[in-house]
Amino acid sequence: MQIAFSGRLGSGKSTVCAILRDVYGYEIYSTGTVQRKVAEEMGITTLELNQRMKADPELDHVIDDAVVKISRERKNDPIVYDSRMAWHFAENTFKVYMYVDPVVAAERVFAADRGDVEKYESVEDAKQQLMARTMEENTRFKDIYGVDNLDYANYDMIIDSTSATPEQIANAIAVNAKRFEEKPFGYTLLLLSDKNVIDESDGLGNALISVKDDKYYLVSGKIEKEADVFVKAKYIAK
């Protein structure tokens, strides 16, 4: 089963992808690496590249067309597409989105050395730049493709990297990709950190979570666990 893997900046997608490659045998197709390389060659930041891509859709299509082609020609090969738009272009995939608390994401990228292309003066500066890049990218996706990359309903699974280790995340993705291949879920599965879930439930019915202002609310059911690591529930649009 091929995996279309998207997520928040700073959520640790590259690390998880490396584990999926080294431990579970997946090949990685990373467009983030391609974008950073293009930005470096142009002598601009990734935010500036995103702004130029908004004005010149051909820069997007170079990446997107390759994803479509690979997913069709190699549909039986174990591939992870590390790309924010792969869920839209790669065919017949398990669509995964990785969430992370914005402050945790900022702390991670501030501590990492990403060269001259991505520089931050502080954790708060990193947080603001990551938020700006996320919104700039999503505005471009809406303008070019007419889709919302941040709409959880587009994905088969949302997984939270705020507290879980990369190994735990990679294992959960591999396990649920297998489950999905055997029988599609028919809903968006949420695997979250309990630190990010606000319990407003009466404790009755199935575990359902809604999202508002980047916060998760348990609106019905009881907290369920997956592998004693994640809060498990179904996503409902509200």
Residue 172 within any structural domain of the chain: no
pLDDT of residue 46: 80
Could you list the residue range(s) of the whole structural domain that residue 121 is in?
A: 2-145
**Tell me, what CATH number does 71's domain have?**
3.40.50.300
Residue 219 within any structural domain of the chain: no
Phi-psi map region of 183: left, alpha, beta (phi>0 left; psi -120 to 50 alpha): beta
Residue 26 within any structural domain of the chain: yes
Residue 79 within any structural domain of the chain: yes
pTM metric for this prediction: 0.86
144's tokens: 């070019």
Count of domains observed in the chain: 1
Q: List average pLDDT for each run of 10 residues in the chain, which is 238 residues long.
A: 94 94 94 74 83 77 79 93 91 96 91 72 92 90 90 97 96 97 96 93 92 91 91 90
pLDDT of residue 69: 85
Q: Taking the mean position of all CA atoms in its chain, how far away is CA 130? A: 14
pLDDT of residue 29: 87
Residue 69 within any structural domain of the chain: yes
pLDDT of residue 45: 87
pLDDT of residue 114: 64
pLDDT of residue 41: 77
Residue 231 within any structural domain of the chain: no
**What is the maximal distance between C-alpha atoms in the chain?**
56
- For residue 77, give Cα distances in angstroms to 39, 145, 183: 30, 27, 19
Residue 170 within any structural domain of the chain: no
Residue found by looking up tokens 């309990």 in the block: 194
Count of alpha carbons within 13 Å of 108, Cβ hemisphere only? 18
Residue 108 within any structural domain of the chain: yes
pLDDT of residue 238: 66
- For residue 32, give Cα distances in angstroms to 36, 50, 52, 178: 6, 11, 16, 25
pLDDT of residue 165: 96
Q: What's the pLDDT tens digit per position in 175-231?
A: 999 999 999 999 999 999 998 999 999 889 999 999 988 889 999 999 889 989 999
CB-based contact 31:17 (threshold 8 Å):
no
Q: In whole angstroms, what is the distance from residue 154 CA to residue 128 CA? A: 26
